[in-house]
Amino acid sequence: QSVLTQPPSVSAAPGQKITISCSGSSSNIGNNYVSWYQQLPGTAPKLLIYDNNKRPSGIPDRFSGSKSGTSATLGITGLQTGDEADYYCGTWDSSLSDVVFGGGTKLTVL
């Protein structure tokens, strides 16, 4: 069981917008920065969002991150077939002294 809870899957049509939730607690999301990763099939994870809502250089503004209380959300607009991937949230857990990840969400672009 992952410390952070994500929906197993989401789906939407090309051009649409989706959000992926990541639920935690005060020891992790509530008091630490959240990051989001995209993992295309057979490849290494790629950082999309760090420090809750910052995008690394080269990440399009179609990807956004937000945090409220003990939950975080990844948003993707203008969905493309190339966005089909697994998405993971991650953060530091102060009680566990551990970097923790969500179980991952599989995005299908229909």
Partner 1 sequence: QVQLQESGPGLVKPSETLSLTCAVSGYSISSGYYWGWIRQPPGKGLEWIGSIYHSGSTYYNPSLKSRVTISVDAPKNQFSLKLSSVTAADTAVYYCARTVGGATDAFDIWGQGTMVTVSS
Q: Which residues sit at the interface with partner 1, rule CB under 8 A?
A: 2, 32-33, 35, 37, 43-47, 50-51, 56, 88, 90, 92, 96-104
The residue (of 13 and 58) whose beta carbon lies closer to partner 1 is 58
Q: How far is the CB of 88 from partner 1 (least distance, A)?
A: 6
> Any idea which residue has 């295309």 for tokens?
40
Q: How far is the CB of 80 from partner 1 (least distance, A)?
A: 22
The residue (of 36 and 71) whose beta carbon lies closer to partner 1 is 36
The residue (of 70 and 92) whose beta carbon lies closer to partner 1 is 92
| Secondary structure (3-state) at 85 | strand
Among residues 41, 42, 36, 1, the alpha carbon closest in space to that of 19 is found at 36
Cα–Cα distance measured from residue 76 to residue 87, given in angstroms and rounded to the nearest whole number = 11
The residue (of 16 and 43) whose beta carbon lies closer to partner 1 is 43
What DSSP state is assigned to residue 60? Answer: -
Among residues 64, 60, 77, the alpha carbon closest in space to that of 18 is found at 77
Q: How far is the CB of 70 from partner 1 (least distance, A)?
A: 17
Cα–Cα distance measured from residue 97 to residue 27, given in angstroms and rounded to the nearest whole number = 10
Q: How far is the CB of 54 from partner 1 (least distance, A)?
A: 9
